[in-house]
Chain A
């Protein structure tokens, strides 16, 4: 069974600085997707960024980028130029590319605090 681990329950960053959130996963599959979701205090989860395992290039979305290390099964999220609106809980998630269900397997989450 696949598992996702986020070892940082809480992180803080100064506004305008850079922060990296860690995520490791375990799977025997070679084809899958990885995601970072953001859940602000209003509680609706929003997709931040996704990575397809067969793509070697790290995904980027504006100030958000990932460091995908397939062999190490690591998928960290880097937030550059942090803004107050980035404060939220961040979830790393895995999804098999082969499964018909499309279900996501989540990590425990990391609460990010942004200090002004």
Chain B
């Protein structure tokens, strides 16, 4: 079974440009998460989808970031326009949605997209 896949693995763009990151979760995983690690700092939560709906977007840094998950399958994270401080590694994770009892299950991570804004 394929794991969480992220595209591209690396991206170098100039300040002011637009970049779109993609995440393909594990098939059947309704939960999809985006995280970001800025160099040397902790990994921070950006947002959470349940199917196509945004469950929690409290971690999105500003309105230059737009996440979508049309159809509840893959997700995209667009940064427009990119700034220098957006550089970092963007991780996607997915997990099964458990509807009863203790909610949520183990999250599986992708390899991340290393974004460099110059």
Residues of A within 8 A of B (CB): 4, 37, 42-47, 50, 91, 95, 97, 100-109
Contacts and interface: CB of A to CB of B under 8 A. Distances in A.
Instruction: Find the residue from A101, A102, A108, A109 having the highest chain B CB count within 10 A.
Output: A102
B56 A103 contact: yes
A89 to B, nearest CB: 10
B111 A42 contact: yes
Contact of B33 (A37, A102, A107, A108): A102
Contact of A101 (B40, B42, B56): B56
Interface of B is mostly: strand
Contacts of A95: 104
Contacts of A105: 45
Contacts of A104: 33, 35, 43, 45, 93, 107
A91 B55 CA distance: 24
B42 A102 contact: no
**What size tier do the contact residues of chain B reach?**
20 to 34
Given A45-B91, A102-B31, A102-B33, A108 B107 contact: no
Contact of B41 (A4, A43, A46, A108): A108
Nearest to A93: B43
Interface string B76-118: 0000000000000101010100000011101111111010000
Contact of A45 (B45, B95, B102, B109): B109
A47 B112 CA distance: 15
A106 B43 contact: yes
A97 B102 contact: yes
11 contacts: A37-B109, A44-B3, A45-B91, A50-B106, A95-B104, A100-B104, A102-B107, A103-B33, A104-B93, A105-B45, A107-B42
